[in-house]
Amino acid sequence: MLEGLTAINEAIKEHSSFIPRLKEEIGKVIVGQEELIDGLLIGLLANGHVLLEGVPGLAKTLSVKTLAAAVRADFQRIQFTPDLLPADLVGTLIYNQQTGEFTTKKGPIFANLILADEINRAPAKVQSALLEAMEDKQVTIGDETYRLKEPFMVLATQNPLEQQGTYPLPEAQLDRFMLKLKVDYPSKEEELVILNRMGQTSRDIEITPVISPGEILALRRVVDQIYMDPKIKNYIIDLVTATRHPGKYLPELSQFIEYGASPRATLCLALAAKARAFIEGRGYVIPGDIKGIGPAVLRHRIIITYEAEAEGITVEEIIERLFNEVEVP
């Protein structure tokens, strides 16, 4: 067992050796935002979609575009608006008068990395079309079903401001995102670097691709081999169960949790923890991986009560208490 774990660890160190170079390329454009970059890489390696929340101007779009360039992936940005139609996303059939036949015009969804900008501004039909593509990795246009490119990853942004006139994602649709990353303001020092680097009208920064989409698919199989001890698995299940039955684990918070996380949270937490271990160059998962990525997996899956809102208790505070109270193996 020990020999096998050593072999896996050495293999992961070798396969993950490109991560510093990849981060260096992304760092040519993006200043700071380590949690955002790590989250994007984890989503890419764990085959999960990512929801980004932050006010405008925090380089969410630029981060995704830079990541796409660094992994040589096809990238499409879709600006979600109230008048967007599902056909604008997946494509449609166009009638050719000369031949009398319909031809398929594929939409922007046929790319590796999709940036759904301000997803909460589009109506439910468009959101459903996108989320169906996320779940099934395919779309239907007319009578034909088309497989989407692999790897396929959706990165959706939400603006926490200006909620008037938006269509908030239902909880069942939110659950399809592996991670929800909160993008915050840069520090004073980071903002000075941004000013010095980007404070000019012409800023042509060339990104050198580090890996290819085909290599990412191969790396996902490597991530699957990362060892997870049964105690770590039980720790994940305890965390998720505590959100459903807080009376047993967090009795003082039971009145503040309306609904807990689904079994999808358990799977996402395990996969994301493996991807985080890979980025760290380890062939095994440690409790720190669970704690490090846990908030991003759980924050959009725990629904708080009106009592919590009335008393100013946030999901972030509940998650912090959760990780403090549930016993670590």
Residue 298 in this model has a pLDDT that exceeds 60: yes
Q: How many CB atoms within 10 Å of residue 65?
A: 17
- Tell me the pLDDT band of 3, cut-offs 50, 70 and 90: low
Residue 280 in this model has a pLDDT that exceeds 70: yes
Q: Are residues 193 and 269 in the same domain?
A: no
Return the closest-CA partner of residue 29 out of 59, 4, 71, 1: 59
Return the closest-CA partner of residue 282 out of 48, 18, 20, 14: 14
Does residue 278 lie in a domain region? Answer: yes
Q: Which residue has the higher pLDDT, 178 or 119?
A: 178
- Tell me the pLDDT band of 266, cut-offs 50, 70 and 90: very high
Q: Are strands 113-117 and 50-53 parallel, antiparallel or unpaired?
A: unpaired
Tell me the two tokens of residue 79: 């600006």
Q: Which residue has the higher pLDDT, 241 or 158?
A: 241
Q: Are residues 236 and 193 in the same domain?
A: no
Q: What pLDDT sits at residue 209?
A: 80
Q: Is residue 148 a contact partner of residue 135, using CB atoms and an 8 Å limit?
A: no
Q: What pLDDT sits at residue 10?
A: 79
CATH code (residue 285): 1.10.8.80
Q: Are residues 180 and 244 in the same domain?
A: no
Helices (H), 16-144: 19-27, 34-45, 60-70, 86-90, 124-136
Q: What pLDDT sits at residue 1?
A: 53
Residue 164 in this model has a pLDDT that exceeds 60: no
- Tell me the pLDDT band of 132, cut-offs 50, 70 and 90: confident
Q: What pLDDT sits at residue 306?
A: 86
Domain membership of residue 41 as a residue range: 33-198
CA atoms within 13 A on the CB side of 1: 4
pTM of the prediction? Answer: 0.86
Distance, CA of 298 to CA of 302 (rounded, Å)? 6
Return the closest-CA partner of residue 123 out of 77, 86, 177, 76: 86
Average pLDDT over residues 272-288: 91
Q: What pLDDT sits at residue 276?
A: 93
Lowest mean pLDDT among 73-77, 130-134, 272-276: 130-134
Residue 159 in this model has a pLDDT that exceeds 60: yes
Q: Is residue 298 a contact partner of residue 319, using CB atoms and an 8 Å limit?
A: yes
C-alpha of 189 from chain center: 27
Q: Cis before residue 82, ω within 30 degrees of 0?
A: no
Q: Are residues 163 and 284 in the same domain?
A: no
Q: What pLDDT sits at residue 202?
A: 61
Residue 165 in this model has a pLDDT that exceeds 60: no
Q: Are residues 64 and 179 in the same domain?
A: yes
Residue 213 in this model has a pLDDT that exceeds 80: yes
Does residue 79 lie in a domain region? Answer: yes
Average pLDDT over residues 223-237: 91
Q: What is the residue-averaged pLDDT of the chain?
A: 83
At which of 198, 215, 236 does a domain end?
A: 198
- Tell me the pLDDT band of 167, cut-offs 50, 70 and 90: low
Q: Are residues 170 and 294 in the same domain?
A: no
Q: Are residues 146 and 42 in the same domain?
A: yes
**How many domains does the chain contain in total?**
2
Q: Which residue has the higher pLDDT, 165 or 211?
A: 211
Q: What pLDDT sits at residue 162?
A: 58
Average pLDDT over residues 6-34: 80
CATH code (residue 130): 3.40.50.300
Strand blocks (E) in the chain: 50-53, 75-79, 91-96, 101-106, 113-117, 138-141, 144-147, 153-158, 179-182, 257-259, 303-304
Tell me the two tokens of residue 127: 């959101």
Amino acid at 31: V
C-alpha of 133 from chain center: 15
Q: Are residues 233 and 192 in the same domain?
A: no
Average pLDDT over residues 245-273: 86
Residue 137 in this model has a pLDDT that exceeds 90: no
Q: Are strands 138-141 and 144-147 parallel, antiparallel or unpaired?
A: antiparallel
Amino acid at 253: L
Q: pLDDT of 188-197, one tens digit each? A: 887 787 787 7
Q: What pLDDT sits at residue 200?
A: 65
Tell me the two tokens of residue 237: 């299940």
3-state class of 226 per DSSP? coil
Residue 274 in this model has a pLDDT that exceeds 90: yes
